[in-house]
Amino acid sequence: MLLTINIGNTNILCGAFEGESLARAERFPLSDRSRLDVFLNSYPQAESVLAAGVNPEVSESVVESASGALRCPALLAGRDFRVPVRNRTTCPEKVGIDRLLNALAAHERVKKSCVVIDIGTAVTIDAVAGNGDFLGGAIMPGPGTALSALHSNTALLPETSLPREIPVLGTDTQGAMSSGVFWGTVGAIEKISEMLRRETAGAVTFLTGGGAERFAPHLSGIDHLIPALVLEGLRLAWLMSDRKRGRQAGK
């Protein structure tokens, strides 16, 4: 039993792997850390806990919590084990580790070039070369972030969230905001991913993240819908690092 935790800007995503299979995945707000404790305490038999995050301070705190809750190693990606992806961006040290973990998991599945769309607090659309190298991509506000920015930076636009049904024709202010953000996000994702597929020779396209299932029915060109792809990347990064350490120890 292997536990994995990805700490985002808004949510925590936890997963429990039995062998190679993700037996359970749970996503909850970052502010509700009590649910993390409940999740961890559900698996006293866990052999290891792996964590990754875009907020270093919170990530360190989560690892400490996991170490205290369970009698097994709690390891942080990037500190205790590396993500074995060659990063070909101009400032590799500034790339979020979640983007690299997604790239690793996607490429390991298909062994060819990929485009990975991750819909969360931010939307990232990244390109992975046929050899697994991370090439970079595009970052834009996620739907919730965009709605919050409209409310915070204007005098009259109200605070709102996306309703279940979102017609293109908004008949009131909140409806117009929801339409613009939701369908604007759909259009931007489709256009950017289409352009990246052309640059990466017909790449396989993955859709992941907390908003993946909400947007999937409205996006064309998606080959694989895997909401917890980052957890798969965590497991693979640790496994590859562990094997490397084993080979080095056997020399």
Active site residues: 98
What is d(CA 51, CA 76) in angstroms, rounded to the nearest whole number? 5
Kindly compute the dihedral angle of the four CA atoms of residues 56, 62, 68, 69, in this order, to the nearest 10 degrees.
-160
What is d(CA 108, CA 146) in angstroms, rounded to the nearest whole number? 32
For 250, counting Cβ atoms within 10 Å of its Cβ (0-12 exposed, 13-18 middle, 19+ buried), the class is exposed
Q: How many residues does the chain have?
A: 251
Burial 193-203 (b: 16+ CB within 10 A, else e): beebbeebeeb
For 103, counting Cβ atoms within 10 Å of its Cβ (0-12 exposed, 13-18 middle, 19+ buried), the class is buried
Nearest C-alpha neighbor of 178 from the set 155, 160, 152:
160
